[in-house]
A = this chain, B = another copy of it.
Amino acid sequence: QQALGSSAAKRGMTLEHELNLSNQYYLSVDRAVIHKKPTPIQLVKVDYPRRSAAVVREAYFRRPSTTDYNGIYQGHYIDFDAKETRNKSSFPLKNFHAHQIEHLRHCLKQGGICFAIIRFTNLGQNYLYPASKLIQAWDQQDTGGRKSILLTTIQTDGFPIALGLQPRLDYLAAVDQLLETIKHKGVDYE
């Protein structure tokens, strides 16, 4: 037995933790209602002690069938996943699972505002990257396309997210920019 969290999980928790704090802040000022979904667990054995809470004694992590975050922002359905990479010049697409891409594809079709939040841990940089562009890159892998998205491409088609105090990660400012871009450039970003 070991403490929760490999170094990968710890890195993941940092971005996740900052997003959770930001979401708490957004909720507290009525700006948006966005939550991280709990990790899905397959329960196998549960104890029900007489006078205390049920205890899970055997369970396994399941692969989520959706992205981690969703909610509502001023009438817009918001859906995204958060990913970190230690790479310095590109984001490897293998950080996504096929089912997450399919989920984003379905949400886009329904008119959702969908994206990835990508952190380059070694650069200390965070970007909102539109799901439409992510899906393009994903699909092009099959026809000889790159297995990663260049940082320069992310800087061109995405939106930087500033680090701050309150909220820690003001990603809704980047969503505002995405909404403006969709309004002006339309289908390419939708």
* A contacts, CB < 8 Å to B: 1-2, 4, 27, 30, 32-33, 35, 37-41, 43, 45-48, 53-61, 64-66, 70-77, 79, 103, 106-107, 109-112
Which of B1, B43, B109 lies in contact with A30, CB distance below 8 A?
Answer: B109
Shortest A98–chain B CB gap in Å is: 15
Which of B46, B72, B76 lies in contact with A107, CB distance below 8 A?
Answer: B72
Chain A facing B: main interface SS: mixed
B74/A110 in contact, CB under 8 A: yes
A71/B74 in contact, CB under 8 A: no
Q: Which residues of B contact A112 (CB under 8 A)?
A: 33, 72
B79/A72 in contact, CB under 8 A: yes
Report the bound CA distance from A110 to B31 in whole Å.
8
Q: Which residue of B lies closest to A104 (CB)?
A: B33
A107/B56 in contact, CB under 8 A: no
Shortest A8–chain B CB gap in Å is: 13
Report the bound CA distance from A38 to B65 in whole Å.
10
**What number of copies of this chain does the assembly contain?**
2
Report the bound CA distance from A43 to B33 in whole Å.
25
Chain B CB within 10 A, most for which of A57, A65, A103:
A57
B111/A27 in contact, CB under 8 A: no
A75/B111 in contact, CB under 8 A: yes
A71/B70 in contact, CB under 8 A: yes
Q: A56-B58, A77-B75, A79-B72 are known contacts. Are A107 and B35 too (CB-CB below 8 A)?
A: no
9 contacts between A and B (CB under 8 A): A1-B47, A27-B106, A33-B110, A54-B61, A56-B59, A56-B60, A59-B59, A75-B110, A77-B77
Shortest A184–chain B CB gap in Å is: 19
Shortest A84–chain B CB gap in Å is: 20
